[in-house]
């Protein structure tokens, strides 16, 4: 009997989550903002003010924010956008420039870019409202491959040894994962980090001027024939692959 009670208790414990995670998953606000709600006494569990770090089971407990029941977790949206030139990778821009969020309004949800592509760059940009997934994918420990096709002016063949060697950017040593000469004026460059304008700056340090830069792949995702300015939902296989990357981070100390 004691063994059975232990198993039941263990199963119930596995269904509990920290309140800030449950509030964020319900789409009310971010985890950090959720902590503020809890600290301000605006969250209750079974009629009692919640405490930071408290865990609860939404199936068993009555969780309320400002007296309103916690809604069911919102289904997260994740899609691939082919960002064109002339757009900034933000939800809105203080200078009034076009934003990538404008291109995905048809998704019916407020979405945010995962990582960045600069104003003059094009290509694959992941857009989502899943903050946990975005945080996991941009975590530096993951070293997610990002592949770029770069059209350049200058002697690309002579630049190869420089591009393939270690470089210093912002006081840190970086190194391309791979550099391939596709044709005299076009390179394919793979990087793991995502430092500001990294590929452009690497090319400049190698004596090349970037004429066009397109991200064609990121991790398990491939841009393919998706036209500029258009987007598509991720396939089930693509989403599972991203979730697997995110899960691998959560297991690291």
* 3 state DSSP class of 151: strand
Q: What are the φ and ψ backbone dihedral angles of 111, each rounded to 5 degrees?
A: -115, 155
Judge contact between 24 and 34, C-beta under 8 A.
Answer: yes
Q: What tokens does 32 get?
A: 């950090």
Task: Give yes or no: 130 in active site.
Answer: no
Cα 81–85–90 angle (5° rounding)? 60
Strands 209-218 and 122-128, bridge-based pairing: parallel
Active-site residue (options: 118, 129, 145, 243): 118
Q: Which of 190, 248, 178, 179 is nearest to 218 (CA)?
A: 190
Judge contact between 245 and 144, C-beta under 8 A.
Answer: yes
Catalytic residues: 118
């Amino acid at each position: 009997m004691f063994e059975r009670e232990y198993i039941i208790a263990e199963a119930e414990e596995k269904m509990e989550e920290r309140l800030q995670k449950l509030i964020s998953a319900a789409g009310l606000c971010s985890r950090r903002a959720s902590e503020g709600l809890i600290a301000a006494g605006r969250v209750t569990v079974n009629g009692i003010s919640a405490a930071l770090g408290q865990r609860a089971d939404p199936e068993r407990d009555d969780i309320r924010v400002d007296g309103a029941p916690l809604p069911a977790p919102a289904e997260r949206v994740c899609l691939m956008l082919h960002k064109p030139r002339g757009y900034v990778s933000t939800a809105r821009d203080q200078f009034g420039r076009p934003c990538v969020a404008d291109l995905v309004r048809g998704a019916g949800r407020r979405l945010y870019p995962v990582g960045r592509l600069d104003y003059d760059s094009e290509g694959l940009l992941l857009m989502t409202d899943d903050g946990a997934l975005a945080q996991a994918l941009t975590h530096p420990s993951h070293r997610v491959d990002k592949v770029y096709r770069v059209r350049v002016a200058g002697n690309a063949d002579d630049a190869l040894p420089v591009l393939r060697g270690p470089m210093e950017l912002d006081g840190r040593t970086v190194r391309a994962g791979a550099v391939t000469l596709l044709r005299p004026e076009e390179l394919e460059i793979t990087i793991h980090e995502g430092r500001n304008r990294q590929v452009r700056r690497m090319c400049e340090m190698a004596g090349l001027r970037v004429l066009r830069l397109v991200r064609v792949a990121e991790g398990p995702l491939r841009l393919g024939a998706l036209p500029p300015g258009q987007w598509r939902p991720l396939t089930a296989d693509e989403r599972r692959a991203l979730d697997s990357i995110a899960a691998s981070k959560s297991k690291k100390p």
